[in-house]
A and B are shown apart, each in its own frame.
Chain A
Amino acid sequence: MNEQVLVVFPHPDDEAFGVAGTILAHTQEGIPVTYVCLTLGDMGRNLGSPPFANRETLSDIRKTELDEACRQLGISDLRRFGIRDKMVEFTDQDVLAERIFDVIEDVNPSLVITFYPGYAVHPDHDAAGFAAVNAVKKLPKGERPTVYALAFKEGCEEVLGEPDVVRDVRPFAEQKLKVIEAHQSQTSGMIESMRNQLLGLEEDVKSHLTFERFWTYPVDEDD
């Protein structure tokens, strides 16, 4: 099977913090990455530091930011689902899983990256993870892609164990910072401290700038 990655997240910038290094590792090998971003991030609290956006301009600003982040990441297939930010868990869940399934049928991914349902803190994250997993499960067992799931809820390791996939993304740390920086309205106040952190954290396995950690989701297990 040809390699193809499908990333499913709810917010523009979710791809930056948790998985930019992993995405870069794939795109730089010429492996295509499709990114389904469920919302426009239009209910974010961060409006720039100092604020340069308002509630009504934020969606357009974040569209431009995500375009730039995707350019940095080498993602040419970005699909925005346009759900209102914060409302992912309240939209019709069957319709959402079906829409993601349509993308799966279209691009035939070998790897899906999403949030670990129930362990991703923000209700939109959990809902995105649920929908992505449910979409994958529409395929017959044995034909389902691998799912890397991202978890960061307090205490998640006590339940899920240690992440089984730990990717060294130090070669991409600078580029990852650029992706984070592209989301200016969300990150403009923190870039400097992250850059300094990077110098001190070279060996820190827990820093997402140096290592990205995933749990392989048991897609073939029955619910």
Chain B
Amino acid sequence: MQPIEPIEVQRRLDMLAGEPLYIHLETTNGAYASHRDSSFFSAGTFFRNAQLTFLHGKITGDGPFRIGFETELGWLYAEGLTDWTVDSEERLLMAGHDQEGKLAIALEFSRKPFPK
């Protein structure tokens, strides 16, 4: 992955509007966060292969970046994004890495389902 280049990402987001996409969205503190520091409240989530069609999407911020997508019925939002790539299967993969390089958030779009 490379550091997010917002103009380039925006161009990709524009290409994804209007067609059904498979989405992987995830936030994580890691399963050991509360084990190492009992005062740490750990929360996280992921879903994989939810399908949505976006009306439009936008990337904002100076980095880490925010992304918001509007759908017919609602929204998708993510913050803390730092890196991105388009892989060999033309999937748009974005992630937020913390100071240690560990994954904090992932937001990915694909025209085909991600492997389960």
Contact = CB atoms under 8 A, between A and B. Distances in A.
Interface of A: 43-51, 54-57, 59, 84, 86, 121-124, 153-154, 189
A11 to B, nearest CB: 10
A56 B87 contact: yes
Contact of A122 (B24, B32, B46, B95): B32
B46 to A, nearest CB: 7
Interface in B70-116: 83, 85, 87, 91, 93, 95, 97, 100-104, 106, 108, 114-116
Contacts of B103: 44-47, 51, 55
Which of A45, A122, A123, A154 has the most chain B CB atoms closer than 10 A to its own CB?
A: A45
21 contacts: A43-B28, A43-B46, A44-B103, A47-B97, A47-B103, A49-B101, A51-B97, A54-B87, A54-B93, A55-B24, A55-B26, A55-B108, A56-B93, A57-B87, A84-B48, A121-B35, A122-B31, A123-B31, A154-B35, A189-B100, A189-B101
Contacts of B61: none
Interface of B: 1, 24, 26, 28, 30-32, 35, 38, 46, 48, 83, 85, 87, 91, 93, 95, 97, 100-104, 106, 108, 114-116
A54 B24 CA distance: 12
A59 B52 CA distance: 25
Given A84-B116, A121-B32, A55 B93 contact: yes
Given A54-B85, A56-B87, A46 B35 contact: no
Chain A interface, >50% SS class: loop
Contacts of A189: 100-101
Given A84-B116, A189-B100, A55 B106 contact: yes
A46 B93 CA distance: 16
Contacts of B48: 84
Contacts of B106: 54-55
Contacts of A57: 87
Given A56-B87, A121-B31, A45 B102 contact: yes
Contacts of A124: 31
Contacts of A122: 31-32
Nearest to A55: B106
A46 to B, nearest CB: 6
Nearest to A59: B115
Given A46-B102, A46-B103, A122-B31, 8 more contacts: A44-B103, A47-B102, A49-B101, A55-B26, A55-B106, A56-B93, A122-B32, A189-B101
Nearest to A84: B116
B42 to A, nearest CB: 11
Contact of A54 (B1, B28, B31, B115): B1
B35 to A, nearest CB: 5
Contacts of B32: 121-122
A124 B104 CA distance: 19
Contacts of B102: 45-47
A185 to B, nearest CB: 11
B31 A154 contact: no
Nearest to B95: A54
